[in-house]
Amino acid sequence: MILSGQTIERMIRRDQILITPFKEQSIQPASVDLCLGDHFLIVDEMSTPVLSSRKSANYHEMYISEGEVMTIPPKTFMLATTLEQIRLPNELTAFVEGRSSIGRLGVFIQNAGWIDPGFAGQITLELFNANRVPVQLIVGMRVCQLVIAEVDQTTGGYDGKYLFQKGATSSRVYLDREAEKS
């Protein structure tokens, strides 16, 4: 069952769900909006001519202050982060959806995947400007929404390679057991 905005707000106030910083105006009917953080990664094409599941890529790292503009060039992919840090209890899961208003600018906000019960940290966002012109987003603006749902039973909680991540975090697929066997 997907949680209502009222239930999400109540659970935040009772410290059952952690979202910091939290803004009351972020609560939506069945989700909570999250904002664009200040850390961005773009693949360094000179030192990383191919992306591989066997090793980490090299990235250009950028920090842009809250309230400043991040320009995404046409047909460009980059990693970003949410401003907020979250923590889910072991009986809740979540997923991230891009806000429709941002999608209508031609920016796809793919999410970090399913947010497992017990996850804690900032959420890495995959941004892609599908437009033919640059798109400007303001650091700190609402860009996505966290939809939270109950799982049918309490789990052991997430214990994976992205637990407690801070900032835009590049792929760690090379740490998967399957990658070792390839």
Rounded Cα distance between 72 and 97, Å, is 19
Alpha helices in 29-168 (DSSP H): 100-103
Catalytic residue among 66, 68, 97, 126: 126
Instruction: Name the residue type at position 32.
Output: V
Rounded Cα distance between 176 and 47, Å, is 23
Rounded Cα distance between 43 and 125, Å, is 14
> Which of helix, strand or coil describes residue 176?
coil
126 is catalytic: yes
The catalytic residue positions are 126
